[in-house]
Amino acid sequence: MRTVGQYLIPYIGRMIIQLGIKIGGTVVELLLPSMLSIILDEYAPAGNMRGVWLMGIGMIVCAILAWLGNCTANRMSTNVSREVTRKLRRDLFRRVTALSAAQQDRVTDASLVSRLTSDTYNVHNMIDRLQRLGVRAPILLLGGICVSMVMEPVLTLVLIATLPLLAVTVYYSSKKGVPLFTRVQEGQDRMVRKVQENMAGARVIRALSRTQWEQDAFGEVNSDLAARQRKADLTMATVSPITSFVLNAGLAVVVLVGAYRVHMGLALPGTIIAFLSYFTIILNALLMVTRIFVMYSKGSASARRLEEILLMPADLTQEELDAAGDKEHLVFDHVSFSYNKNYNNVTDLTFKVGHGQTLGIIGPTGSGKSTLLSLLMRQYDVDQGEIRIGGKPIRAMSPEELHSRLGVVFQSDFLMADTIRENIRFGRDIADASILDAIDCAQASFIHQKEGALDFELNVKGRNLSGGQQQRVLISRALAGDPRILLLDDCSSALDFRTDRELRHALRERHGLATTIIVAQRVSAVMAADNILVMDKGRIIGQGTHDELYENCPMYQELCQLQLGGDAA
C-alpha cells in the first residue's frame, strides 16, 4: 500500500480542498434533524408560523448546500482516482515490459494481464470510495453521536453500547478478507491463462474436435474462481447482516426507551424524532464503513500484487566489465545455462563468429538452439562463462546498445493489427526505401499485389496472411533496420524450397556485412554457412563446414542423408 500511496502525493492539495468541501457538506447535513426538532418542539407548539417558515427555508438551503458539497467533492475524488490509476497503470506497464524473461516466466503472462486490468480496477475503486465514503461516513458517525449525546444522552448510551460488537465484526472480517481476495485474484490469473491458451489454439482445438473438452476444462477453472469468490464474498457479507441486526435491535430499544421517556415527560416528541433521524444517519454511516472495509480488502489485496511488480528489482543490470579485445565479432566462451537451476539446458558452449560470417545451428528439438539465441539477446543471464560482441561482454552493454545491433526473427513471432508498413517499421525511424529493399530481400513481393501494398491492413496476429507470407513480413522487419547481427530462428519453416533458396541467396548478396546466425531444422538452410554447429542435449557435438561435418559428425551425416539423400549431400 505504501508504494500505491506515493501516487497520491501530487494530489494532496486537491484532496485537502475536496476534504474541506466534503466536511462542510456533511456538517450541514447533520444540522437538518436539529432544525426539525426546533420546529416541532418550539415554533409549532407556540404557533410561531414565521419561525416555522424561516426554519423550513433554512432546512431547504442546508439540503441544497449538502447536495452541492457532496456532488462537487465526489467529482473531485473521481478525477483524482482516475488520474492516479492512469499513472499507476502506465508505470506498471513500463515495469512489465522491462521485466527479464526469467521474471516474466516466474510471474506468468496471465498474472501480468490480470494485474494490469482487474487489480488496477480494484485499486481505483478503493481510492475512489475511500475519498467519497472515508470522509463522509466517519463524520456522520462521530458527528451524529456527538449531537445525539447533547440532545438525548440516555438514548445515545444505547447506541454506543452496540459499537464494540460492530467494531470487532468489521475488524475480523477485514482481516480475513485480504488473503481471501488475494486467492480470488490468483484464481482469476488461472482463468486469464486458460482463455489466452484457448484463443491462441482455437483453430487447433476445432480441427481436433476438442471444443467440448476445452469447455469442460474452462468450466473447472471458472468453478474454482467462483468458489473462491463465494468464500470471500460470504466472509465479507457477514458484516452487513450482523451490523443491521445489532443496529435494528438498538433502534427497537431506542424506540421503547424514547416512548417511555416521552410518556414520563422526560423528553419531547420532537427531540425523539430528531434522535431517530440521527440514529438513521448513524446506521447508514456504519453501513458505509462496512462497505469501505470490503472495498479496502479487495483494493489492498490488489495493491500488494501491483507492488510486487513495481518493486521487483531489475534482473539484468549493466555491469562494469573489461573488454577482451577479440578479433571475432561474436564469441561464446564456455557458456552454461539452466532455466530452473536444476540441470543445464546448455553446457559449455564455445565458438566464435567473424565479422560478416554466417553461423548455422542445427539439431533436434530441445537441443538448446533457441536458448542460445535467448542468451545472446540477454533475455536471460548465463550461469557460467561469457558472451562477447566486438570484444565487449554483453553484460557490460546497455539494453539499447545491445539490441540496436540485433535484427531478430523468432520461431514464434507476432504481427500487429496494423498496416504492413507499420509492422515492418515497428516504431523505428525507417524510410520507405529501406522498407522496400528489405521486402525485396525477404522475397515478400506478394505485398505489392495486396490492396494498398504497404498500407494493407493486417488482422490480429496477421491471420489474413498465410504462414509463409507472415514469415517473410517478419524477415522484412528484421532486415529493415540494417542490423549488424542478424538472428533467424527457424524463420523459413513455412517457406517452399525455392523461396527459401532465393532468400538465402539474397541474404548473402545484400546483407553480407552482417554477421548472421541461422537456426534451422533443414540442412539446406545452413549448409552454405561459414561454420555450422550441431547441437544435441544442450551441447555442441559437431562444429565445422558442411563438408567437414558430413565426414566427421554422424548425426549431421544422418540428417543430410534423410533430408537430401546421399548423392545430393
Residue in 510, 486, 131, 517 with CA at minimum distance from that of residue 359: 517
Torsion region of 359: left, alpha or beta (phi above 0 gives left; psi -120 to 50 gives alpha): beta
Given a cut of 60, is residue 471 above it in pLDDT?
yes
* Res 443 pLDDT > 70: yes
pLDDT in tens, 133-162: 777 777 777 777 777 777 777 777 776 777
Q: Which of 148, 155, 147 is nearest to 266 (CA)?
A: 155
Least confidently predicted of 183-192, 368-377, 471-480:
183-192
pLDDT of 204-219, one tens digit each? Answer: 666 656 677 777 777 8
Domains defined along the chain, listed by start = 2-183+234-310 (1.20.1560.10), 330-563 (3.40.50.300)
Mean pLDDT over residues 522-539, rounded?
85
Show the cell assigned to 555: 548425426
> Using 50, 70 and 90 to split pLDDT, how confident is the model at 336?
very high
Sequence-separated (6 or more) residues with CB below 8 Å from residue 378: 316, 387, 394, 395, 397, 399, 402
Query: Is 148:254 a contact under the CB 8 Å cutoff?
Result: no
Residues with Cβ < 8 Å from 69, sequence gap 6 or more?
21, 22, 24, 25, 26, 28
Judged against a pLDDT cut of 60, whether residue 321 lies above it is answered with yes
> What pLDDT, in 10s, does the model give residues 249-267?
777 777 777 777 777 777 7
For 254, what's the count of Cα atoms within 13 Å in the CB-facing half-sphere?
A: 28
| pLDDT of the residue at 203 | 62
Task: Record the pTM.
Answer: 0.70
Report which DSSP code applies to 312: P
